[in-house]
Each structure stands twice: as structure tokens, then as C-alpha cells.
Chains A and B, each alone.
Chain A
């Protein structure tokens, strides 16, 4: 008896529902977050959305908005690409190993009330790169996001359009349908209050998983949640960014983070910075080659006294004239607050 051709085809299904990255299971943190963003209309344009090229009509719409914005005699929107943080090398740098010791000492002295805390307070900006080779200047989408979860399972999420570089000026924002328009600085883009007991429904796996206080456990968790367990430092830095959006670490978690960073390949002290919120930080830059962020410089900023994560910044390292992007321009930054 000959095999049925459909049976043969079934037997060589290249993507399994029982194993591998696309196996059937509850939603992971990324999928949960994407769903929440759709449901709560807080779409964000991230650099990673490069792949999905928008229709030409959408590009023209963005160009039109920008042309109007640039040429209008009234209030100008904050559309300029932010300047990269200035690295000062006149002060001595703190190595990650030294900082790991400082963070470990603070962790030992920490009490039960010292976190971690579920939720985060983040100021962020991402370059829009969806407009392709015929691009208008990159659009800024600055926002400040506060997410809080309480012990009773209730919480709240608020997103405000704001740009610390241009207080009081309009900023460009994409609405839930992907249309760009300007909104006033400080405008509440999204505010949602979750009743007690609803955290399990709205929070993803990452927000439900209390972060480990040891570097090995943290590495394992980040690998599980974000696929960063391969020793790829650029991936690790991106995973920490995602993790930081879900949790505000306390001293114990911070010590684990700094020790993990100290063991990461290619991460070197680059200088002292004053970040966009006016805080002094020690910057570390990934100096390795290859990996998932080739062509971009990743910088992470830590408090040199405590090891607390302050922020990150990604800059382009090559001119991209077709995209109107120059080497050294910022692709994104995040500033994490307590």
C-alpha cells in the first residue's frame, strides 16, 4: 500500500506544535505584552519594527505630517533625533567587577521591604525606521510610562507623551490605527486602572515571575523569557531592557544584574555620562563584534555607587544616507526610574 501524499507531507511538517519555539503553550511575556498593547491602544514604534515595511501611503502620510510640522509657523514638534549622551573620560571609570562588589554589599544590607517591585517607570524614545529608503527624517515618539501592580493583583498603567529635551513642546505620537499626529507635551495617551485580582489576566509571564537574586538564575530566566541564553551580550542587554519594563529591581536583584553584566563578553567602561534625566551614571559599551546588533552601539548606564540600572542608549555606527541616518545618531534610549 502506498503512502497517502498528505500523510507524507504531515510527516515533514517543518514546525512542530509539540516542541521548539512555536510549540503550543500559554502566551509568553512578549505575546502577552503585544496583546495588552493592542487592547489598550498603546502602540509603540520600536526599532525592531524595521522588518514590517509600511505601505507607501503610510509613508507619505508621515512625510506630510512632518512637512507640515517643520514648515508650520506655530509650535514645532520635537522631531529632531536626540544627541547621543556625551561620554566624559576625564573621571576614573568604575569597572563592572568593582561595581558588582558594591552592589553585592548593598544587597547584603537590604531588608525585606527593599523590593523588587512589580511594574516600572520608564522614559523612552525610539527612532521610527518604518519609512524606508525614501524616508522623511526619523520621527520621535517619546513617552513616559508608569506601570504599577499592587499586592492585591490590581494595578494601573499610564502613558504620557513627554520629551525631557523639549518640555512643553508638542511631540509626535502614533494612534492605535498607526496614524501619526502631534500631541501636547504631557498629554495622557493611555491610562488604565486594573481592579484587584486582575493582574493574572493582564500581566505576562515575565511580570508574574519574581526575578532571581543570583546571576545564574537571572541568566536562565532571561534566556527562558527572551531567548538571550546564548551568551550573546547584545541580546542580553536587550533582554535586560525588557526585564526592566516589567520589574523595578531592589538591591538584591541589582547585584545579580551587575554580576551578570560583569561576566558578559565585550562590555567595557566607556566613561561618565549625565543622562537625560540629569543623573550621573557610569556607561558601559558593548565593544564586541558580530551578534544580533552589528552596526549599532549598545550602551548601558549604571549608577556607579549602587549598580542600579539607569538607562540604555543605542546609536548607529555607520552612515545610512538612504535612510537619512548618520553614524552616531541615536536609535533609541530608555531611562529607568525608581
Chain B
């Protein structure tokens, strides 16, 4: 299989997984997600010679770098939108209250948000992208043992936050029954 064919195969197989990866982290509208995903695969295309046999964790790694650039660029993008009109994206970004706030389980998101960005990422990759320790190492660019240690510590810290929040909920609701 040529590198072009391998790339096309990876694209077809993993396009939606990469889209979900971006959508989870960008929290933006569909157009924004599509733009970033397009950029991810554009970069992956230029680096197609490096495409591994199991490309998904590698693609996630490319997407992580791409998102970092995009988040920096979003400030500039929003400035432009504000200049050409009160674009709905600009409004949406300025909204303080999120629908998530009323969604069951939003406290789990809040617990996650209290962790460091590095802890959050290793937990998201494990729970939402369902990566193995080995794949985690590829995406994060570290060894398996380092990835395992990072996950172990992040899980512990999330557990602590969840327990704290449950205790808070318990006090507010007049009692918490541990399932």
C-alpha cells in the first residue's frame, strides 16, 4: 500500500473519530470543528510518510498540536467577527451560562475542569477516546510507563475532586447515599 493509499485509508476510517476529538475540546460550532479537522488532515497529509500502522493515536497527536494553534488563533478570529458584525459565534463565546450547567452529570465535568490541563487531557483520552496505555503514549509523545503513571495520578486526582463535590452535593441536598 502506498503512503497515499495508507493516508486515504486512515482518513476514511478515522475522520469521525478525529472530528469527535476536536469537537470535545473546541466546544465550538460545526464549522469551526470542520475547519480544524481539515487542518489536522492537511498536516497529516504533509507528514504522511510518518503515518504509523495504527494511525489514530498519531492523528490525535497531530490534532492536539493543531488545536493549540487554533485556540490561539480564535482570539484573532473573534476579533474579525466582531468587526464585521455581531456574529453569532462571538455572542456564543460571550455567553457565561452553558447548557451543560443544567445537564445531569455536569458536576463530573466540573470536577474534571478543576484538574490541571495535563490531567484533564490524559483522562479525556482514556475515557472518551478510549485509548490504551500504549496509544496514550503515542498521542502524548511519551513512554508507556510515563503514560501509565500520568493516568494513574490523574485518576487519583479526579477521584478526589469527585468525592469533594459529592460531599458538597450531599450537604446541599440533605444527604448523599453512596451507591
Contacts and interface: CB of A to CB of B under 8 A. Distances in A.
Contacts of A35: 8, 11-12, 15, 41
A194 B4 CA distance: 16
A296 B81 CA distance: 11
Contacts of B76: 53, 132-133
B70 interface: yes
A320 interface: yes
Contacts of A294: 84-88
A288 B149 CA distance: 56
Contacts of B50: none
B155 A48 contact: no
Interface in B25-70: 27, 30-36, 38-39, 41-42, 45-46, 69-70
Interface in B88-122: 88, 100, 103, 105-106, 108-109, 112
Nearest to B161: A5
B15 A31 contact: yes
A51 B24 contact: no
B147 to A, nearest CB: 15
Nearest to B178: A2
Contacts of A24: 16-17
Given A53-B76, A294-B87, A13 B36 contact: no
A209 B93 CA distance: 36
Contacts of A320: 80, 83-84
B100 A14 contact: yes
A6 B31 CA distance: 30
Contacts of A292: 88
Contacts of A178: 42
A9 B12 contact: no
A49 interface: yes
B41 A3 contact: no
A11 B27 CA distance: 18
B75 to A, nearest CB: 9
A22 B22 CA distance: 10
A91 interface: no
| Among A10, A17, A21, A24, residue most surrounded by chain B Cβ atoms (within 10 Å) | A21
Given A52-B36, A292-B88, A296-B84, A9 B42 contact: no
B1 interface: no
A15 B128 contact: yes
B24 A15 contact: yes
Interface of B is mostly: helix
Interface of A is mostly: loop
| Among A8, A51, A316, residue most surrounded by chain B Cβ atoms (within 10 Å) | A51
A15 B20 contact: yes
A27 B15 contact: yes
Interface residues of A, number: 50
A50 interface: yes
A42 to B, nearest CB: 12
A6 B41 contact: no
Contacts of B23: 14-15, 21-22
Contact of B35 (A1, A8, A43, A52): A52
A17 B46 CA distance: 28
A245 B127 CA distance: 40
Contacts of A177: 46
A168 to B, nearest CB: 32
A120 B8 CA distance: 24
A48 B34 CA distance: 10
A295 B87 contact: yes
A27 to B, nearest CB: 6
Contacts of A165: none
A210 interface: no
B102 to A, nearest CB: 13
Nearest to B77: A51
A23 B23 CA distance: 11
Interface in A291-322: 292, 294-296, 316-318, 320, 322
Interface in A158-172: none
B35 A3 contact: no
Contact of B77 (A15, A38, A39, A53): A53
Contacts of A14: 23-24, 27, 100, 109
Interface of A: 1-3, 5-6, 8-15, 17, 21-25, 27, 30-31, 34-35, 38-39, 43, 48-53, 55, 132-133, 177-178, 227, 290, 292, 294-296, 316-318, 320, 322-323
6 contacts: A11-B105, A12-B105, A49-B35, A51-B36, A133-B79, A227-B30
